[in-house]
Amino acid sequence: MTTLSSNNDSVDLPTSQQFYINGCWTPPAVPASLPVVNPATEEVVAEVARGSAEDVDRAVAAARAAFPAWSARSVESRAQILGKIHALILERKEALAQALSLEMGAAISFARAMQVPLAAEHVRVARDLLSSYRFRTVEGGTAIEREPIGVCGLITPWNWPLYQITAKVAPAIAAGCTVVLKPSELSPLSALLFAQLLHDAGLPPGVFNLVNGSGPEVGAAIAAHPDIDMISITGSNRAGALVAQAAAPTVKRVTQELGGKSPNLLLPDADFAKAVPLGVMSAFRNVGQSCSAPTRMIVPRNRLAEVEALAAQTANALIVGDPQLEDTQLGPIANRAQFDRVQAMIEAGLDEGAKLLCGGPGRVPGFAKGFYTRPTVFSEVDSGMRIAQEEIFGPVLCIIAYDTVDEAVAIANDTVYGLGAHVQGQDLELARAVASRIRAGQVHLNYPAWNPMAPFGGYKRSGNGREYGLYGFEEYLETKAIVGFG
């Protein structure tokens, strides 16, 4: 057991220098490590083992060997283990929340209220689906069987570390697949806790395997491996394209959840006093580090001044600070590279002539260390500006004005991305019609509650395939037709 601490953060890890392969903790084939930096202090708080292609080979071999027995295991047995995993996540929620705060700077209140509970929901949903899913249907003498696809390589990001892991691992093992997971090397601590949790839940050896490491080494080896049947990646467009290219020679299935530049379209009849503050909070949730964050607020031109005042007031009231303090709403950006990216994009907005309402470049006043970024709102943004077209992945909101609803829809669709979108309006019939015209995989009307059964994924360069609920579960299944079945 390894105890990590920095200021008020404390995390007990099973190990940080080993991988979880074939049911046990094992060192890397070639000793090497990667630093884990606490973004609140910029200090190295851990070293995790750095994997290689040889480590991936061992993990894939274990997953391949475990696949026949696990895929043949009864649905009831798989559901029972998923139930144990769900219970253990809730039982260990504080340790998981502390790990998330330490590794990526999540405000501890947000980690407790959102990051961990929503991760647990993916496991519950996968368990519950097994009780009703029909793996075989027969119609007209032909049987259609849905079978697990095989060994799955899962590559997850740093911004929602545990949440994205459970969104992939839970449906994969529920379907009867075995997996090799590569979590982000920038936020790997919660993944180590999760691996131990699966072990303690009684998951058989080889069903789940974890190899830490970089994308060019471990990620590329997973994508190209001939004994991996499917890849599921959440990450940047660049990473998604590289993985697809590496996977192409072996013709494996690749599902991708990539970038986004989601619009939040406020219709003329929206309740602006409610819709604007909620829009700012939605855009800045998780410090704006969400691929579906609605960072383009599209508003009627004749309400622009009102929107500007409400947005600036909301952003200026946000409490940015030490993620371990209970009243902190936004912690730091998760890592140095992303902090630099956000700063560069804020400067680009200024250079392009956007109107700065609040925030701006530089750290939050009072912080000499830590990647603390000022919540920033730009107005008078043109749809062609970089800040309106490129994913910033930080607390930066662009307000874009429109004159007609048709123009608003055109602005919403004026992006290479198509992951998420929001529409606000009191005329629900009109809001629904506008939602149908937006080219995105998921559209939210009037800030609804999160639905773990709603399929999530992108149009255009936001990826392909779907996650969550039934649609996410079926990504891990093959379809077999038995003709003449009877």
Judge residue 39's burial from the number of C-beta atoms within 10 Å of its C-beta, 0-12 exposed, 13-18 middle, 19 or more buried: buried
Q: Output phi, psi for 155, to 5 deg.
A: -120, 120
| Under 8 Å between Cβ of 467 and 449 | no
Is 24 an active-site residue? no
Whether 306 is a known active-site residue: answer no
- The amino acid at residue 209 is N
Catalytic residue among 185, 257, 467, 475: 257
375-397 burial code (b ≥16 CB/10 A, e <16): bbbbbbbebebebbbbbbbbbbb
Tokens of 128: 């519950």
CB neighbour list of residue 157: distance below 8 Å, 6 or more residues apart: 164, 184, 234, 235
Distances (CA, A) of 245 to 57, 225, 240, 242, 252: 20, 12, 9, 5, 11
Q: How far apart are CA 151 and CA 48, in angstroms?
A: 25
Helices (H) and strands (E) in the chain, counts: 16, 22
Please name the residues in contact with 310: beta carbons below 8 A apart, sequence gap of 6 or more: 272, 273, 276, 277
Length reported for the chain: 486
Q: Which of 152, 177, 185, 291 is catalytic?
A: 291
Catalytic sites, residue numbers: 257, 291
